[in-house]
Amino acid sequence: MFTGIVTDVGRIIDTRVAGDLRARIATHYDVGGIDIGASIACDGVCLTVVALGSEPEGWFDVEISAETVSKTNLGNWRPGKRVNLERALKVGDELGGHIVSGHVDGLAEVVGVRPEGGSLRVTFRAPEALAKFIAPKGSVALNGTSLTVNEVSGAEFGVNLIPHTQEVTTWGEVAVGDRVNLEVDTMARYVARLREYD
């Protein structure tokens, strides 16, 4: 379980296919405090740590199944790519964003980026099947970042990225055409499901 509050920006060191896709990610986390088997959200995808090391810098390895590759943008990872990271929530931690499972629902496409004051207004197009779960002033997780939806028009929705978010995540690099990992709010999913039985 996660909150969508990014706590590190990692960097892909290497990827290789060995049955599943395996990636090595450089991190500023103290790898001495990470256990094999720990869950880390990587661009919003809950992945299991399978190896750790500290030379020449701190790093951890994850394995990514074909199912995950098919539903996310992780198949596009290349050495040097920066990724949003979040350690799993611990009992007693501050819940600063919203409850995020790390189970990506699909990919949203960036269809507009424009400055608005010091912020960026970014417009996304969600897959039609997921659009009904996105509501104004609701929450979404995009590449692992908990964001508030400003407006919705059909399958398109907009968010504001304040300067702080741009600085401490990969969102400062956003561009039209990017495909980002989208996880809809769990409560919205259950409310929509219950309405099917009204």
Interval 88-119: pLDDT, tens: 988 777 777 788 999 999 999 999 999 999 99
> Which residue intervals of the chain bear CATH 2.40.30.20?
8-87, 106-195
The strand pairing partners of 47, in sequence order, are 40
Domain boundaries 8-87, corresponding CATH code: 2.40.30.20
Q: What is the mean pLDDT of residues 45-73?
A: 96
Topology of the domain covering 106-195: Elongation Factor Tu (Ef-tu); domain 3 (2.40.30)
* pLDDT, tens digit (0-9, with 9 covering 90-100), for 149-179: 999 999 999 999 999 999 999 999 999 999 9
Q: pLDDT higher for 93 or 198? A: 93
Give the whole-number percent of the chain exceeding pLDDT 90: 84
DSSP string, 112-174: EEEEETTEEEEEEE--HHHHTT--TT-EEEETTEEEE--EEETTEEEEEE-HHHHHHSGGGG-
Give pTM, 2 decimals. Answer: 0.93
* pLDDT, tens digit (0-9, with 9 covering 90-100), for 1-29: 899 999 999 999 999 997 899 999 999 99
